[in-house]
Amino acid sequence: MRCRKCGGKPAVNMPQHKLALCKDHFLEWIPEQTERFITKYEMFSRQERVLVAVSGGKDSLSLWDILHRLGYQADGLYIGLGIDEGIGYSDESRRLTEAFAAANGLKLHVVEVEKETGQTIPQLARATTRGRGKPCSVCGLVKRHEMNRIARDLGYDVLATGHNLDDEAAVLFGNTLTWSGEYLLRQGPVLPGTPGLARKVKPLCRIYEREMTAYALLRGIEYIYEECPFAAGSTSIYYKELLNKMESDRPGAKLSFYLSFLEARKSGLFAQREQVQAELHPCTNCGQPTSAPGLCSFCRMKEKLAPTVEGRA
Ligand code: Q46
Ligand code: ZN
Ligand code: ZN
């Protein structure tokens, strides 16, 4: 196969789209696709201020790069998790994120979890009962809370994350295996904002992980190659492997799984559930919406922690 646009030597072959492109055309095609999805799902406009959650990985840095190239007002937010595990994971990811921002003249906000809560993510996981050996549940909770807080405090209209199609298909697969209606209802390219919560969008949700890796490499973006050490052995990696097996037998399977879900939901698969969706209340401490009246789960976690934190000071 040759590049479909110029007949030149292909750099990326995409059997899932029956498409091959040379380097230059591929580097144009990814932003064009992203723009198409931003418009189709009404994610945000050029007048709105976008906060991109950047982790130093290929997806989030590439997303930032794409939005910048497309002319959106996109600033970055890096959340330092304090994960070392012998490879200096957080230090290295912060260094690469800061280097990317500096090289492109972009504005980056940095939040260190240890400064905010007195403990790093692995310490928080040990100090609370959430986690059961893995810090991922605490980590997810803290990241969501901090992203929302910064977006609200600094007046951003929308929060963008670098989830790609493989991420979304794996989450969807997991939620389908357990028929988790509440999660299925909330999964999608856009999660509308509510009072106190910025809209959340995933502009790369229809782009394959493989395509994002190719984009980062061909654009010369320096990103952290290592996965977070705590990702090893996770169910989402297992689901990604299963989906990749399907994909290699039937190119396009992942995309059609995700798109059929969006279609089914649009045509009312969860309509009944949507009506009974729980009402949200503002957290009595931080003001972020939460499903039960009183404190949100982040503030409840912090409250439990309080004696430990003071003990350390
Ligand atoms: S949740 Fe778990 Fe990730 Fe946090 S501790 Fe690492 S693997 S970074 S997306
Ligand atoms: Zn070409
Ligand atoms: Zn709260």
CA of residue 295 to ligand 3 center, whole Å: 5
Which residues form the pocket of ligand 1, taking CB atoms under 6 Å from any ligand atom? 121, 135-136, 139-140, 228, 230-231
CA of residue 183 to ligand 3 center, whole Å: 21
Span 47-89, pLDDT tens digits: 999 999 999 999 999 999 999 999 999 999 999 999 999 999 9
Look at the pTM and tell me if it is higher than 0.95: no
Atom of ligand 1 lying closest to residue 140 CA = 1
Span 115-169, pLDDT tens digits: 999 999 999 999 886 656 689 999 999 999 999 999 999 999 999 999 999 999 9
How far is Cα 210 from Cα 166, in angstroms, rounded to an integer? 9
Can you name the residues that pair with 75 across neighbouring β-strands?
Answer: 51
How far is Cα 221 from Cα 299, in angstroms, rounded to an integer? 37
Atom of ligand 1 lying closest to residue 137 CA = 1
CA of residue 140 to ligand 3 center, whole Å: 15
